[in-house]
Amino acid sequence: MYGFSTRLEPPVDWAMDPHGSLRFQAYLSNWDFMDQLLAGYRQTGDPAYVAQAAALALDWVQSNPRANPAGGAGTWSGKIAGDRAGRLAYLLDAARCRGILEQADVEALRASLLDHVEILLGPESEGDTNHALYVQTGLAAVASQLPALPGAKRLLSTAERRFRRVLEGRLANGVWLEHSTSYQFLAIRVVERFLELARTNDPGLTHDLQAMEAAAAWLTAPDGRHTLLGDSRMLEAPPSIRRLAEEAEGLRAFPGAGLAAVREGDSHLVLSTGFHNPTHKHADELSFELSEGGRRLVTDTGMYHKDPGEIRDFVVAARAHSTLTLDDQEFPVTDPAQAYGSGLEAWGSGSGWHAVLASNPLLAEQGARHERLFLYRAGEALILVDRARAPGTHTFQRRIQLAPGVRAAEGGDAVLELEAPGFAGALFDTEPAPELALAEGSEDPLAGFMSSDYREWEPRTTVELGTEGSGLLRALTLALSPARTHADDVRWHGRDVFLRLASEGGPRVALAIDRDGRELTVSVRR
């Protein structure tokens, strides 16, 4: 279950939690383990697989009545019951066909199935998260696998209507609004599964699925794996979406979702600035991931796990993301009243540069305003222009979360020299020099870690730049080529931004970014 090897033999302790993991408990309750047995039966026709599955199912039914389940309060929650219902329906049908169970056992499983249907038709189906999608998928699984069940057609039509409502209520520009790359892929899989079970050609759902796949391609790094926005793991994207990612080119904004991405060959930038609900939300306003030459240079932090405690607190905190804070204060990302939607303001391209302007409305809690202008030229430089204003004197912290394997060292004319296999770059900042702090694999307090998969830590360098004052206007450059192109001066007048660029052996040039509504135009001037 969820990566843990566990022996299940009736009577099973359905309340077991040997690893202190909420995810383990969920996967025990939703019968994820049954898939091994049911797949074995489908592939071989050997009824021994069904007999073993039925023995475990009957043990679970006896131990987990709705009124007092041994597995705890979450045992009959909508998502878990939805996962379990399809497996129970398949098992019930298969066991009856093979004549494996006594009639009393069949009736016990059937009674439990009716309990599941009642749960899935009740208040649990009124939610608007991915859990509600699983509820409707569970209903569709029951109706499609047991078409002779009384009211099966009604169950299927109800599930389809509710599924469409939930999906359309949480989509913007094809992005599933749960702040996570991995949950974007999860939602795609649920839609695919629902369409398969419901045997429907609903054009609306089909169009939504295509839009979701197109958005997922922009959230896929050049290494073919998920970017780590929000509660994500560095999982491999399906081949079809990897192909879409390889075909993507240029700048793509998702204004309703608060996401933007640039892809040019094996160069990739993705940034996030959205708060739609507390689901899987991290304090990652204006954070980003960057890949060059197919290698990740800056990453977000990932999920690690969702169990309450010090690690979870760190993973969701602003200090674990490449964002800006005032006086090290956190953002109120658990408060749904603070959900502002999208912080994406304008975007555009010109002269080989891509520009995205976004803001962090959550700093209004501290009486502050922060805007960040991303300027990116693939293979050459990423410039972050931060403008922040607040009454009084404050310390502004800017953090960059380097990917594992990217080494940072002080020296030379840059704030930091950056090095990784096949890569040499630098980090520059406009004057005056900021206060610099580095953390790598620090346990107390937690800092300088990334989680690429469940309960896996990888040490990496976190760069923190501190600046005191009543406001901040700085241009931080990640120089990506031997030319070491970087901004050494910045001006922000009204809606227009001007930077002076310097490079090794080249003349200084001016970079002008003009704004007209939501359109940015970038031009280079001698």
Q: Which tens digit of pLDDT belongs to each residue from 112-124? A: 999 999 999 998 7
Q: Which amino acid is residue 498, in one-letter code?
A: F
* Per-residue pLDDT at 98: 79
Percent of the chain at pLDDT exceeding 70: 100
* Domain extent for 186: 22-216
- The answer to the question of residue 391 being in a domain is yes
* Per-residue pLDDT at 376: 98
283 and 331 Cβ atoms separated by less than 8 Å: yes
6 and 27 Cβ atoms separated by less than 8 Å: no
Output 239 or 507, whichever has higher pLDDT.
239
Distance in angstroms (rounded) separating the CA atoms of residues 17 and 1: 11
* Per-residue pLDDT at 362: 97
* Per-residue pLDDT at 308: 92
How far CA 473 is from CA of 430, 436, 470, 491, in Å, comes to 9, 17, 10, 8
- Same structural domain for residues 209 and 255? no
Buried b (16+ CB within 10 A) or exposed e, 288-320: bbbbbeebbbbbbbbbbbbeeeebeebbbbbbb
Asked if residue 22 has pLDDT above 90, the reply is no
* Per-residue pLDDT at 526: 73
Helix pair angle (103-121, 130-145), 10° resolution: 140
- The answer to the question of residue 487 being in a domain is yes
- Same structural domain for residues 47 and 91? yes
Task: Please identify, among 200, 216, 232, the residue that sits at the C-terminal boundary of a domain.
Answer: 216
- Same structural domain for residues 210 and 272? no
- Same structural domain for residues 203 and 299? no
* Per-residue pLDDT at 15: 93
- Same structural domain for residues 337 and 407? yes
CATH number at residue 426: 2.70.98.70
- The answer to the question of residue 11 being in a domain is no
Lowest mean pLDDT among 1-10, 41-50, 369-378: 1-10
Task: Please identify, among 162, 197, 216, the residue that sits at the C-terminal boundary of a domain.
Answer: 216
Q: What is the pLDDT of residues 379-399, one digit of tens each?
A: 999 999 999 999 999 999 999
- Same structural domain for residues 361 and 487? yes
Asked if residue 502 has pLDDT above 80, the reply is yes
- Same structural domain for residues 209 and 338? no
DSSP string, 2-14: TT------SSP-T
- If one counts the domains in the chain, the total is 2
Average pLDDT, the chain: 95
- The answer to the question of residue 98 being in a domain is yes
Greatest distance between any 2 Cα atoms in the chain: 87
pLDDT band for position 252 (50/70/90)?
A: very high
- Same structural domain for residues 190 and 308? no
DSSP string, 355-407: EEEEE-GGGGGGT-EEEEEEEEETTTEEEEEEEEEEEEEEEEEEEEEBPTT-E
Asked if residue 208 has pLDDT above 90, the reply is yes
Lowest mean pLDDT among 24-33, 190-199, 229-238: 24-33
- The answer to the question of residue 254 being in a domain is yes
- Same structural domain for residues 402 and 501? yes
Distance in angstroms (rounded) separating the CA atoms of residues 128 and 126: 7
Distance in angstroms (rounded) separating the CA atoms of residues 159 and 162: 5
* Per-residue pLDDT at 270: 98
- Same structural domain for residues 278 and 206? no
- The answer to the question of residue 417 being in a domain is yes
- Same structural domain for residues 207 and 329? no
How far CA 336 is from CA of 17, 279, 323, 341, 452, in Å, comes to 31, 9, 21, 11, 28
pLDDT band for position 266 (50/70/90)?
A: very high
- Same structural domain for residues 328 and 189? no
- The answer to the question of residue 17 being in a domain is no
- The answer to the question of residue 255 being in a domain is yes
Asked if residue 125 has pLDDT above 80, the reply is no
Task: Please identify, among 216, 239, 267, the residue that sits at the C-terminal boundary of a domain.
Answer: 216
Give the tokens for residue 286: 């204006």
Lowest mean pLDDT among 27-36, 97-106, 219-228, 230-239: 97-106
CATH number at residue 202: 1.50.10.100
Cis peptide before 11 (omega within 30 of 0): yes
Q: What is the pLDDT of residues 410-453, one digit of tens each?
A: 988 999 999 999 999 999 999 888 999 999 999 999 999 999 99
For residue 492, the cross-strand partners are 497
Q: What is the mean pLDDT of residues 311-330?
A: 97
Q: What is the mean pLDDT of residues 326-345?
A: 96
Q: Evaluate if pTM is beyond 0.85.
A: yes
